[in-house]
Amino acid sequence: MTKEIESSLAEVNQKIRGALARSDTPDRAVNLVLVSKVFPAATVEAAIRAGHRRFGENRVQEAQEKWPPLREKYDGLHVSLIGPLQSNKVRDAVALFDCIQTVDRKKIARRIAMAMQESGRSPELFIQVNTGGEAQKAGVLPGDLPGLLDYCRRDQGLAIAGLMCIPPVDEEASLHFALLRKLAREAGLERLSMGMSSDYELAVEMGATDVRVGRAVFGPRPS
């Protein structure tokens, strides 16, 4: 397993470098966030042993079980929350994660600010944008982004690093990546978390600074 993960990780990193070279800002850094949700700690460890340190999880509780033991064993791990955040899980999320990519409403922003004050921790924060306006999907609607950003920055004193999106499955991802980039530029934000296994190269070509890739490195998720 370790060998396979090592070689698929190298391949994905190689493709990211190629896509970066083709983009209009080839000198920026691109973070590969390996999405380890559902995979057991043993699978994650294969990637850690191959030298990778940056991971993403979509559930607070699963991450709480998986990551503290790994942090005991390995230095320099960076774990992002990429799934929806409920207000009753905010304190746990702030305690555990190095980055929260799914801030999408005022109540969550307020709770995060409180939890950061209490704990003295300050994870990086991204706002998730529902670029497709899908009813079932988390994220702030593009039109409501300026108000939420203002609230985070001015009312709650939160530094926002960038924007994140998950395009609708049945639409051209490039339209959503372009929209996210435009919104970030208008808001003066540098980081763009976009692109998954099926479209991370396109996302990097279009300006992503953070791609979230699971299956392309770990293979199909266990059900």
Ligand X SMILES: *Cc1c(COP(=O)(O)O)cnc(C)c1O
Given the rule CB under 6 A, which residues bind ligand X? 35, 37, 58, 82-83, 166, 196-197, 212-216
Q: Is 90 or 166 the residue whose CB approaches ligand X more closely?
A: 166
In the complex, least distance from residue 38 CB atom to ligand X, rounded to whole angstroms = 8
User: Which single residue brings its beta carbon nearest to ligand X?
Assistant: 214
Q: Which ranges in 120-214 belong to alpha helices (H)?
A: 145-150, 173-187, 200-205
Phi and psi, residue 143, nearest 5°: -65, -25
- Residue 37 CB, nearest distance to ligand X (Å)? 6
Q: Which is nearer to ligand X, 174 or 197 (CB)?
A: 197
Query: Least CB distance from residue 87 to ligand X, whole Å?
Result: 19
Q: How many angstroms separate the CA atoms of 78 and 32, rounded?
A: 11
Nearer to ligand X, 58 or 160 (CB): 58
The three-class DSSP label of residue 57 is strand
* Contacts of the segment 21-30: beta carbons below 8 A, 24+ positions apart: 22/205, 23/204, 23/205, 23/206, 23/207, 24/207, 25/207, 28/209, 29/209, 30/204, 30/208, 30/209, 30/210, 30/211
Residue placing its CB nearer to ligand X in the complex, 35 or 208: 35
The smaller minimum CB distance to ligand X, of residues 64 and 156, is found at 64
Residue 193 neighbours by CB under 8 Å, 6+ apart: 33, 82, 101, 126, 162, 163, 164, 165, 208, 209, 210, 211, 212
Per the CB < 8 A criterion, the answer to whether 80 and 55 are in contact is yes
Least CB distance to ligand X at residue 53 (A): 18
Residue number with CB closer to ligand X (35 or 158): 35
CB of 157 to ligand X, least distance (A): 27
Structural contact between residues 220 and 39, judged by C-beta atoms closer than 8 angstroms? no
Rounded least distance, CB 29 to ligand X, Å = 19
